[in-house]
Amino acid sequence: MGSVAIVGDGPGGLSAALFIAKNGHRAVVYGDDKTAIHFALLSNYLGITEVPGPEFQADARAQVKALGAELIATRVTSIAAGDEGFALELEDGSSERFDYVILSEGRSPVLARALGLAEAPDGSIAVDADFRSSLRGMYVIGRSVRPKRSQAIISAGAGATAAIDILSELAGEDVQDWDSPPKEG
Ligand SMILES: Cc1cc2nc3c(=O)[nH]c(=O)nc-3n(C[C@H](O)[C@H](O)[C@H](O)COP(=O)(O)OP(=O)(O)OC[C@H]3O[C@@H](n4cnc5c(N)ncnc54)[C@H](O)[C@@H]3O)c2cc1C
């Protein structure tokens, strides 16, 4: 079983947690539920005609929790990268170790910058198509990598993409999280 820390509990972080937990790995989401989605009235998220942001967020949190993700109401204060993965320090001074980290800090990627992750020419954190940062095992997703072009559905897609990349690496082969309805009769 792999372990993935997700820093940030907006649409990006929760979407990543959904895929990791649903596929049987440990997904721990850190955040204080201060996501920008609380200010939105969502009418541009495919499959949802219109929903207030706080309602969307409450449904998302419940869905992810039901799949086994741990939602921890605290902030991460620092991250140290080592040979055995990543050590996250929390507000109360305790620390936890993880194999992978997905940073979904929103518009102020403080931890990403403190880690010295490579930046793109526009000053955002540089990532590849799977949202891998310049540090192996660490991903950066959502508003942190698209500060001026941020949409909830884009952050959620980025979380899914990073999670599928981690699941594929853990499985040693490409993973697609596909389900089908049970056959009738
Ligand atoms: C007024 C307003 C209206 C909007 N309307 C729409 C809309 O109609 N449609 C739409 O698609 N989008 C809308 N948006 C944008 C939408 O809210 C964002 O695109 C979306 O929230 C980005 O998701 P994210 O997960 O990337 O980041 P965020 O939602 O910003 O989440 C980041 C989270 O990380 C947490 N965090 C940061 N650092 C730490 C740390 N060290 N430890 C723990 N947690 C941490 C933050 O507290 C926050 O909860 C709107 C935004 C605003 C402000």
For CA atoms 44, 140, 17, 79, give the dihedral sign.
negative
Look over the chain and give the mean of its residue pLDDT values, rounded to a whole number: 96
Please say whether the beta carbons of 16 and 102 come within 8 A: yes
- What residue's CA is closest to ligand 1, atom 42? 75
Question: How confident is the model over 87-106, as pLDDT tens digits?
Answer: 999 999 999 999 999 999 99
Q: Model confidence at 123, in pLDDT bands (50, 70, 90)? A: confident
Element (H, E) at 184: none
**Superfamily holding 3-171:** FAD/NAD(P)-binding domain (3.50.50.60)
- What residue's CA is closest to ligand 1, atom 33? 8
Secondary structure (DSSP) of 108-148:
--HHHHHTT--B-TTSSBP--TT-B-SSTTEEE-GGGT-TT
Q: How far is the CA of 141 from the centre of ligand 1 (A)?
A: 11
The whole-number pLDDT of residue 103 equals 98
Residues with CB under 6 A from ligand 1: 7-13, 30-32, 34-37, 39-42, 44, 75-76, 104-106, 111, 142-143, 150-153, 155
Say if residue 185's pLDDT is above 80: no
Torsion, Cα of 137, 142, 148, 152 (10° steps) = 170
Mean pLDDT across 160-178: 98
Direct distance between the N- and C-terminal alpha carbons of the chain, in angstroms, rounded to an integer:
36
Say if residue 184's pLDDT is above 90: no
Element (H, E) at 10: none
Distance between CA 7 and CA 168 in Å, rounded? 21
- What residue's CA is closest to ligand 1, atom 9? 42
Mean pLDDT across 49-63: 98
Cα three-residue angle 77-104-174, rounded to 5 degrees: 125
Contacts of 80 (CB under 8 A, 6+ apart): 86, 87, 89
Contacts of 147 (CB under 8 A, 6+ apart): 107, 124
Supply φ then ψ for residue 27, to 5 degrees: -120, 120
Q: How far is the CA of 174 from the centre of ligand 1 (A)?
A: 30
User: Counting beta carbons within 10 angstroms of the beta carbon of residue 34, is it exposed (0 to 12), middle (13 to 18) or buried (19 or more)?
Assistant: exposed
Share of the chain above pLDDT 70, in %: 100
Say if residue 151's pLDDT is above 80: yes
Please tell me whether the overall predicted TM-score, pTM, comes out greater than 0.95 for this model.
yes
Half-sphere exposure of 17 (CA within 13 A, CB side): 30
